[in-house]
Amino acid sequence: MDIKSKIESLRDDLRQHNYNYYILDNPTISDYEFDMKLKELQALEEAHPEFYDENSPTKRVGGTITKNFNTVVHDFRMYSLDNSYSKEDLMDWEKRIKKMIDGEVQYTCELKYDGASMNLTYENGKLVRAVTRGDGVQGDEVTANVKTINTVPLQLKGDYPERFDIRGEIVLPIEGFLKMNEERIANEEEPYRNPRNTASGSLKLQDSSEVAKRPLECLLYSIKGNNLNVSTQFEGLEKARAWGFKVPKEAKLVNSIDEVLDYVNYWEEHRHNLPYEIDGVVVKVNSLFQQDELGYTAKAPRWAMAYKFKAEQVSTRLNEITYQVGRTGAITPVANLEPVQLAGTIVKRASLHNADQIEKLDIREGDAVFVEKGGEIIPKIIAVDLTKRPEDSKPTVYITHCPECQTELVRPEGEAKHYCPNYNGCPPQIVGRIQHYISRKAMDIEGLGGETVALLVKESLISNYADLYELTVEQVIPLERMAEKSAENLVKGIEASRQIPFERVLFALGIRYVGETVAKKLAKHYKSIDALMFTSVLDLVTVDEIGERIAESVVEFFSSEENKTIIERLKTYGVQLEISAEKLANQTDKLKGQTFVVSGVFETISRNELKKLIEDNGGKVSSSISSKTSYVVAGDKMGPSKRTKAESLGISLLTEQEFLLLLK
């Protein structure tokens, strides 16, 4: 056998043994024999670098140093899931699904592993990229670190697609976590707090050989791509397992919501028997066709629901109530607690939300309080232990003036929060607006972080986001922890932000109530900042999904002379304040004022492309048929109940070709 054949034979052999050990949990050789084969392969690869393979089993040991993790846009957005905290929530979700879907619905039930979400991209059976979830639109590339995880196949087996993404959770098994902490305690080091944070932190270590020392695992649950030849979620799991991925066998296909609840009840009782931490169950409509029919909200798929197990609760002492000022001037009261362990982390603070919440629970400094993590993320106080209240306790009196600038607070009618009205003079509002402007979903300015913004404001180098575009390297270098290269990167990042499209600039301006989705709708409708600046509340409320509160906020923002001045400055700096000519060329008002429902399977165009055509031509896409529906674009396999409803309401049905002709 020649050298090349020997190397390829060893690689194939080691991949199979790795699969037997980590995926099938059925090793056929000893650890010693495996190590001997690996060393033999390493020696041959070192002697013959011409046969280099970046996905060789020898690359599991790591060694790559990554100083900066590149930001990568996902090919398919990674949505978050809607959460439910009761069986009633799940049943209500099922009722909503049944209203939108014809025929029987099956569900795939899966355990919700508590780890770090990961998107893996494969081409021709080889791992080419691993990217963290990030904000769902883009994340950090951590390929070198993920390659060290034994349960991530570097080369697939079987009939895998040419290119696809697969999603899962990077987890740290409880046994491995405890062992790591035993070693840290023995070395007189601080133990890690919990498996989830340790797994997440591992992915951002600069030295991949350090990642290789940690017993991380990757549990996969979702395939994304084109031409996958898969028709259901459960079939996707089975195929992924056959290709070589570690897919949890606890996933179950069920036929009714009652069976879903049985699954939930079983794992709520037995979750502590698992080798990994879980915090709930994920329920998905099994049919991918039905998933497509149900579609997405702005943030989450309608076809999936996460059921979160009851949150852990602890009791501790509330030492002090302090107040934070947000970028919009909103005041948030904060409970400063006696530190306490909760769901694997040390909790020192909890949100008290607003004055009404404090009054409702009669929360006072010095109280013994019950704390839980709402959705396992944000700690909150749920009750006061009145039996332990001190005799000299006094009711909490909510502050009347801003804790930062001493301006008298206001509380708008119908709102729960108090606000500091000192828009242009309150330091946290100034810093917060600029931090929002540079954030990833807004202008995404590389080289500039929140702490640096605060420092720039403190040093009087900037007082609003337009000032960023006048910063020079010479001004920035003297700042604390700022080297010449960092200063150059910061200025380059600001320069690059001039190319960010208008809808994201509009979101970045920080107009109250104008989030990502609203900014896109306003940008699409008005097409330029000038048109939006001079509109009225009456005109704004005619825009789809723009209510009076948003309209009033937009008009108020542009009525400020200071804001107008900042906008004019942004124009002179070349920031994109109108939709590009290229984008405008693809948009018309042909379908303005018309609402479409898209249902079924189409031949010449995908469902998503069809929806985009409707929106690009001024129409609105709805998920359900009502008296407001103008047309239903009906493809093959359209449900009979939808057809019946459309006919009963006298709504015209268009074929795919008829719709395309309508556009022409």
Q: Report which of 264, 371, 253 is spatially closest to residue 319, judged by C-alpha positions.
A: 371
Please give the helix or strand (H or E) that residue 1 lies within, else none: none
pLDDT over threshold 90, residue 208: no
For position 447, what pLDDT does the model report?
84
Domains in the chain (CATH in brackets) are: 3-61 (1.10.287.610), 83-308 (3.30.470.30), 311-420 (2.40.50.140), 427-499 (1.10.150.20), 502-584 (1.10.150.20), 595-663 (3.40.50.10190)
6 vs 418, more confident: 418
Q: What is the mean pLDDT of residues 369-386?
A: 80
The per-residue pLDDT for range 413-423, each reduced to its tens digit, is 888 999 999 99
Contact 361, 384 (CB under 8 A): yes
Q: At what angle do helices 31-47 and 3-18 cross, to 10 degrees?
A: 150
Residue 375 clears pLDDT 60, i.e. is over it: no
DSSP secondary structure string for all residues of 65-109: B-SS--EEE-SS------EE-SHHHHHHHHHHHHHH--S---EEE
pLDDT digits (tens, 9 = 90+) for 521-578: 899 889 999 999 999 999 999 887 799 999 999 999 999 999 999 999 999 999 999 9
Crossing angle of helices 656-663 and 607-616, in 10° steps, is 20
Could you give the percent of the chain with pLDDT greater than 70? 97
Q: How many C-beta atoms lie closer than 10 Å to residue 534's C-beta?
A: 11
Q: Inform me whether the pLDDT recorded for 15 exceeds 90.
A: no
The tens digit of pLDDT for each residue in 132-144 reads: 998 888 899 999 9
Mean of pLDDT values over 143-166: 93
Q: What is the reported pLDDT for 376?
A: 46
Mean pLDDT over residues 244-260, rounded?
95
SS3 206: coil
The secondary structure element, H or E, covering residue 125 is none
pLDDT at residue 301, as a whole number: 93
Q: What sign does the dihedral 508-509-513-516 (CA atoms) show?
A: negative
Indicate whether 626 pLDDT > 90. Answer: no
Q: Which two tokens stand for residue 175?
A: 């046994």
Distance, C-alpha 139 to centroid of its chain: 9
- The answer to whether the beta carbons of residues 598 and 636 sit under 8 Å apart is no
Banded model confidence at residue 374, pLDDT cuts 50, 70, 90 = low
Of 59, 67, 112, 157, which is the active-site residue?
112
Give the torsion through C-alpha atoms of 642, 648, 651, 656, to 10 deg: 40
Task: Look at residues 373, 378, 280, 306 and name the one whose alpha carbon lies nearest to residue 83.
Answer: 306
Predicted confidence (pLDDT) per residue in 271-310, tens digit: 888 999 898 999 999 999 999 888 888 788 999 999 988 8
Return d(Cα 192, Cα 473) in angstroms, integer.
Answer: 39
Beta strands at 331-342 and 313-325: parallel, antiparallel or unpaired: antiparallel
Q: Is 87 a catalytic residue?
A: no
Position 452 pLDDT exceeds 70:
yes
**Cβ atoms within 10 A of the Cβ of 109, count?**
24
Per-position b or e across 190-208, b if 16+ CB within 10 A of its CB: eebebbbebbbebbebeeb
Give the whole-angstrom CA distance, residue 221 versus residue 304.
Answer: 13
Model confidence over 363-373: pLDDT tens digits? Answer: 999 999 999 87
What pTM was estimated for this model as a whole? 0.71
Round to the nearest angstrom and report the end-to-end CA distance of the chain: 65
Whole-angstrom Cα distance, residue 555 to residue 540?
Answer: 9
Query: Looking at 219-223, 531-535, 586-590, which range is the least confident one?
Result: 586-590
Q: Which residue has the higher pLDDT, 2 or 327?
A: 327
